[in-house]
Amino acid sequence: MALGRVAATQKSIDWITFSLYLSLVFIGWLMIFAAEYTGEEDWFSLSTSIGKQTLWLGMAFIVLLIVLNIDWKFWRNFSFILYAVSLLLLVTVLFLGLEVNGARSWFNLFGFTLQPAEIAKFTTALAVSSYLSGPTSKLRNLKSILVAIGLFVAPMILIVLQPDPGSALVFLSFFILLYREGLSPLLYVLAIVTMAVFILSLSISPLSVVVLLSTAAILIVVQNLNFRLYWNLSVLVLVIASIICIDQGFEKEILFVNGLVLLFLLFFQAMKAKFRLVGMTSIALLVFAAIAYGTNYTFINVLEPHHQDRINVWLHPDKCDPHGPLYNVLLSKMAIGSGGLTGKGYLDGTLTKLNYVPEQSTDFIFCTVGEEQGFIGSIMIIGLFVFLIFRIVTIAERQRLNLFRHYAYAVAGILFFHFTINIGMTMGLLPIIGIPLPFISYGGSALLGFTLMIGVLLKFDSQRYLN
């Protein structure tokens, strides 16, 4: 009976996804070897990175085989228990964890380090998927929305306390799953606006952001009043004037003018009994203004200096010391650019071989790819990731059980966040938040976490014909 179940699983396994997983893992092993290459490496010595990664690779394959031979109902029935265990580990690591670069995020076990945050991504995906597939869970219900969000916010908070804000941000990827399952698009619009306010308040002054917000509020109110053309032209002039005044340092003056205009328009709206628009516009303006000033205060008074440096490298590179926080990004971009079209050849990367790029086998592994394999090799790896994510979405859409579909979208979202942010930060397009490139970067915890995700996904998908 058990042998028949195993045979059925092997027959219906998605070999395309499995092959993509193996390809990326093998490429990652080669890139880690290249990043650490000095000519005297021992592939199996546990004193070297490649030796440890080889051991982790063997363990990952064993875990994958075990997962594929466990009944899929185990993951459904024990999803919340596994989730609770991962939360317990996140709490424990705050007190007993190994401190590295100011973060207490790892357990030290017999010379190896284990990062609970990587395992928590997998267990959270299981827990959220199990909850959403329950008979009482409906995303049109406020309680269901809050519980679903709470399930991935809880590990986020514990990871921020380590502090490891980069790993915590990855849990926002679960909003992709919630969007697919029917969460209101309005919430995503508000989230995008909030993110824009957050970025602008760090790029320019909070006062300038409030000026732009007041101008946007005027635009919204005028559009709802259906005024004549000359009113719209006047507002356009006001928008241009606001931008010019911000550039010239006259934020207070233009904010005073905007405030008078907005008060007049809101009063006019109130006279027409449009109290709802007046209230919503006023509240939104106050909330986003508070976010702008709160972001600026948090950046200056709450974030650690090295976290501030990571954001400044992204938004204000001209103000950063090229030999300090900016050094990583400059060397990474230099290494990627030096690869040209076809690259310098495997093990022939000069910047990576001479260890110029910090963290080149972990967070900045993509610079090794860019230097040695060039544009063509980089595009091929990007293509493999895009194909893998697309394949997982395809798997999600063909599932008959909600649990399987939810879980597949959770995995796709996590991989998408990791892949996009890691490659973006090595190119200087996104802030350096210190998360690995899935299957490629050195690290046993991440490899085990992603292997568990793919293994359970393949197991779920193999049961689509048996249920």
**DSSP letters for 256-292:** HHHHHHHHHHHHHHHHTT-HHHHHHHHHHHHHHHHHH
Note whether 448 and 63 are within 8 A (CB): yes
Tell me the pLDDT band of 378, cut-offs 50, 70 and 90. very high
Residue 249 has pLDDT above 70, yes or no: no
Q: What percent of the chain has pLDDT over 90?
A: 34
Mean per-residue pLDDT, 381-396: 95
* β 112-114/103-109 pair status: antiparallel
Over residues 34-73, the pLDDT tens digits come to 887 776 666 666 777 788 888 899 999 999 999 999 999 9
Over residues 131-150, the pLDDT tens digits come to 998 877 777 788 888 999 99
Residue 4 has pLDDT above 90, yes or no: no
Six token digits for residue 423: 């490659």
Note whether 346 and 372 are within 8 A (CB): yes
Mean pLDDT for the chain overall: 82
Residue 232 has pLDDT above 60, yes or no: no
Note whether 418 and 435 are within 8 A (CB): yes
Give the residue, 26 or 245, on which the prediction is more confident.
26
Give CA–CA dist 465/458, Å, rounded.
13
Q: What are phi and psi of 435, to 5 degrees?
A: -120, 145
Closest CA to 416 of 387, 458, 452, 444: 387
**Alpha helical stretches, state H, 359-443:** 365-397, 402-426
Helix (H) / strand (E) containing 337: helix 327-338
- Quote the pLDDT of residue 3: 46
Strand order of the β-sheet with 112-114 is: 98-100, 103-109, 112-114
Q: What are phi and psi of 325, to 5 degrees?
A: -60, -30
Q: What are phi and psi of 141, to 5 degrees?
A: -95, 130
Give CA–CA dist 374/385, Å, rounded.
17
Residue 263 has pLDDT above 90, yes or no: no
- The residues with which 98 forms a beta bridge, in sequence order, are 106
Give CA–CA dist 364/381, Å, rounded.
14
Tell me the pLDDT band of 127, cut-offs 50, 70 and 90. very high
Note whether 57 and 448 are within 8 A (CB): no
**Sequence-separated contacts (24+) of 74-82 with Cβ below 8 Å:** 75/126, 75/456, 75/459, 75/460, 76/130, 76/403, 79/123, 79/126, 79/127, 79/129, 79/130, 80/127, 80/130, 82/123, 82/126, 82/127
Residue 221 has pLDDT above 50, yes or no: yes
What is the identity of the amino acid at 13?
Answer: I
Structural domain boundaries of the chain? 2-187+323-462, 204-303
Give CA–CA dist 182/145, Å, rounded.
10
Rounded to 5°, the CA angle 427-429-434 comes to: 75
**How many Cβ atoms are within 10 Å of 123's Cβ, its own excluded?**
25
What is the identity of the amino acid at 406?
Answer: H
Six token digits for residue 331: 């060397």
Residues in Cβ contact with 260 at an 8 Å cutoff, skipping those fewer than 6 apart: none
Closest CA to 411 of 433, 430, 435, 385: 385
Q: Which of 36-45, 48-57, 197-206, 417-426 has the lowest mean pLDDT?
A: 36-45
Give CA–CA dist 93/95, Å, rounded.
5
- The residues with which 112 forms a beta bridge, in sequence order, are 109
